Chains A and B, each alone.
Chain A
């Protein structure tokens, strides 16, 4: 099993703070990198699928960058709001392993009003 690691495990910020967290993945045989947002009592929802080195994607106040050569992706949230509180998951589909998708353990974000 290839390791996908996320840091920090949890993060507590105040409303209005900007924050970021990291997903590390094996850089060899890179295929794609997924980010999902998982709110408590709901199911994970896709934020981004990133494929190109240097790629940057944005959805509202959330953006992500990708460095495939060094094996990391950053997720940024600008001006955090309480509704951003969720667990953010990244996932790596290893090349040549069919449809496998390996998830990191997630970063749990709590935004206090």
Chain B
């Protein structure tokens, strides 16, 4: 089944404790992206990747890191989480970065993160 998977789905952690949220897709998509969803603010893009080893900042990249060493995986790293990073996170992928704007995005199931 074609899908985007994220792990963990739920995470409660404490300020400053490094964490990684994994994202994997099995559709051979070139483009991958991370979003956060906060009430009243909508989906905001954190980072995106046009292909392996190519990543770029979205609109709210502060406090996050990403890497794209393999086509299928795009982990989101919080080196020192803070309470303002408590949010619902979505990973998404689409077929081709070259035709990126024309390709629908496929979203993972979401990760609900709470930073105490």
Contact = CB atoms under 8 A, between A and B. Distances in A.
Q: Answer yes or no: do A and B interact.
A: yes
B102 A32 contact: yes
B101 A31 contact: yes
A99 to B, nearest CB: 4
Interface string A78-113: 000000000001010101001111111110000000
B109 A43 contact: yes
Contacts of A1: 59
B64 interface: no
Contacts of B41: 105
Contact of B101 (A36, A42, A93, A105): A93
A34 B109 contact: no
A48 to B, nearest CB: 8
Contacts of A91: 43
Interface residues of A, number: 25
Interface residues of B, number: 28
A103 B105 CA distance: 12
A46 B90 contact: no
A46 B92 CA distance: 11
Interface of A is mostly: loop
A1 B60 CA distance: 11
Given A99-B48, A101-B45, A44 B90 contact: yes
A65 interface: no
A70 interface: no
Contacts of A89: 42-43
A13 interface: no
B108 interface: yes
Interface in A18-75: 31-32, 34, 36, 42-46, 49, 51
A46 B100 contact: no
B62 interface: no
B104 interface: yes
Contacts of B40: 105
List the 5 closest pairs (A to B, CB-CB), nearest first: A46-B104, A93-B101, A43-B107, A105-B42, A103-B43
10 contacts: A36-B105, A42-B109, A43-B109, A49-B103, A49-B104, A98-B50, A99-B100, A101-B33, A101-B48, A103-B44
